[in-house]
Amino acid sequence: MSQQAIPNKLSEQYIDLASERLGGETLSCSDDFFAEMENLLKAGRGIFIDDKYTERGKWMDGWESRRSYGRDNGRDHDWCIIRLGVPGVIKGFDVDTNFFRGNAPQTVSIEGCHSAQQPGADTQWFSLLADSPVEAHSQNLFEIDNVQCCTHVRLNIFPDGGVARFRVYGEAQVDWQQFLPGELIDLAYVKNGGRSLLVSDMFFSDKNNLIMPGRGKDMGDGWETKRRRDPGPDWNIVKLGHIGSINKVIVDTHHFKGNFPDTFTLEGTMNDSQACIDGSAKWQTIIPRNKLYAHREHVFIDEIADPKAHFTHIRLNIFPDGGVSRLRTFGYRKED
């Protein structure tokens, strides 16, 4: 049986920089005798199958090391090194011990580094979270005060045990030197620093699905609102990764066949995030109201009102409600 993740400020305000869907990966660990380290970054909270065993013992949906019993090699804890899918400034963690009831670690600590290479013996790690107690079968949430950009983290568990899932919440830091001058960039894309800031509703699925990599794998992998009984619209405000123009837009209703929006508009603003949240931001039309269709990529170029205007945030309005798999907003970054 799986369990729903609890809503929390970290998941609402930040993205999971270590997410497998963003390219996060486990690189190495001290020991994963009972359950593989790769499980740490999978979606969901993990499941439990009562009568499932392997030749090594009970099957567990997480990372689990063997009992240490004071090992002869002198190691007093187990560890796992994770490469973040998106480098960024980390603001918190979720160390989820779901279904690890009698085999959770007693405490954890977490370190970070910024390295262009895979971490090795000479890597200089810095502390992100000091040794902290964790509860069994629980989401253990830790908010931290950090300003350093990380590419990798190391999860340390004391003295041993199992963790079902590990989330690393923060803000993406984009190296704009990796883009060519004048390159057309999806400024709303999560790996380019985009982030869904605020939505009218996300009853069926998360607001940030709208700007995730690839096309949605199913209807749950998009942004979908509940049914309205008024003309709408529902809306999703996205903070762009960089100030820039909007020159090409793709609205993808992939998998939404009976619940796609009837029409949409796209608006933009040059403002700070707080103004977008409190409602004081002034919005201007990027794309006027246009028809949408089921299970289709819709491309808009000529419909863009002012391809030279610059924006910090965009707002997708869907009438009256429904689901959109992905939104791509290609434009040119304003030079700093």
3-state secondary structure of 314: strand
Helix (H) or strand (E) holding 256: none
- Do you find a cis peptide bond into 233, omega within 30 degrees of 0? yes
Same domain membership, residue 242 and residue 139: no
- Position 1 pLDDT exceeds 70: no
Same domain membership, residue 134 and residue 17: yes
Same domain membership, residue 111 and residue 37: yes
Q: How confident is the model at residue 8 (pLDDT cuts 50, 70, 90)?
A: confident
pLDDT score for 4: 63
For the chain, give the number of residues. Answer: 336
Same domain membership, residue 161 and residue 228: no
Q: Tokens standing for 254?
A: 């992939």
* CA distance linking residue 135 with residue 71, whole number of Å: 24
Q: How confident is the model at residue 145 (pLDDT cuts 50, 70, 90)?
A: very high
* CA distance linking residue 28 with residue 94, whole number of Å: 20
Q: Tokens standing for 228?
A: 């309205």
Is residue 114 in a domain? yes
Q: Taking the model in full, what pTM does it have?
A: 0.92
Is residue 2 in a domain? no
Please identify which residue in the block is written with the tokens 């985009």: 194
pLDDT tens profile 109-127: 999 999 999 999 899 999 9
* CA distance linking residue 78 with residue 178, whole number of Å: 36
* CA distance linking residue 180 with residue 253, whole number of Å: 30
Last residue in a domain, options 151, 172, 193: 172
CATH, residue 194: 2.60.120.260
Is residue 279 in a domain? yes
Q: Tokens standing for 44?
A: 């969901």
3-state secondary structure of 313: strand
The answer to whether the beta carbons of residues 197 and 276 sit under 8 Å apart is: yes
Mean pLDDT score, 31-59: 94
Q: Tokens standing for 269?
A: 């603003």
pLDDT tens profile 157-180: 999 999 999 999 999 999 999 999
pLDDT tens profile 69-97: 766 556 789 999 999 999 999 999 999 99
Q: Tokens standing for 293?
A: 């269709």
* CA distance linking residue 287 with residue 304, whole number of Å: 5
Q: Which domain holds residue 25?
A: 9-172
- Position 106 pLDDT exceeds 90: yes
Widest CA span in the chain = 70
4 vs 209, more confident: 209
Q: Into how many domains does the chain fold? A: 2
Q: Tokens standing for 257?
A: 């066949």
In single-letter form, the type of residue at position 325 comes to S
Which residues on neighbouring strands pair with residue 172, listed in sequence order? 88
